[in-house]
């Protein structure tokens, strides 16, 4: 099931927004990590990208936690595979 299908079946509008935020944060973190891997050996650029990647990881974790907490409090995850 694709992400767009998962978002479509979500009835709760808050969960839908939180999931979309989580998906964007995951994509940003993936892209930042990929860029970081390509900068190995380039010390200045690598350090800058490493800091950025860490911020994206924190953003990703925050978005995931917000979604999981909402699902726990609101019990709106039922029926989502």
What's the confidence (pLDDT) of residue 49? 96
Sign of torsion over alpha carbons 32, 34, 35, 36: positive
The reply to whether 5 falls in a domain is: no
pTM, two decimals, is 0.77
Position 69 confidence tier, pLDDT thresholds 50, 70, 90? very high
Q: What proportions of the chain, in percent to the nearest 5, are helix, strand and coil?
A: 80, 0, 20
pLDDT of 4: 53
Instruction: Classify residue 81 by its DSSP letter.
Output: -
pLDDT single digits (tens) 2-55: 555 555 566 789 999 999 999 999 999 999 999 999 999 898 999 999 999 999
Which domain, by its residues, includes 54? 14-73
On whether residue 80 sits in a domain, the answer given is no
User: Is pLDDT at 60 greater than 80 in this prediction?
Assistant: yes
In a domain, 4, yes or no: no
Give the model's pLDDT for residue 75: 83
Total of domains in the chain: 1
Between CA 68 and CA 13 the distance in angstroms is 15
């Amino acid at each position: 099931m694709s992400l767009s299908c998962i978002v479509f079946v979500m009835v709760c509008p808050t969960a839908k927004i939180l999931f979309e935020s989580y998906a964007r944060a995951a994509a940003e973190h993936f892209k930042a990590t990929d860029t970081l891997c390509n900068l190995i050996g380039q010390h200045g650029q690598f350090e800058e990208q490493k800091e950025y990647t860490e911020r994206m990881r924190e953003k990703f974790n925050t978005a995931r936690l917000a979604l999981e907490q909402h699902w726990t409090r609101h019990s709106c995850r039922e029926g989502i595979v």
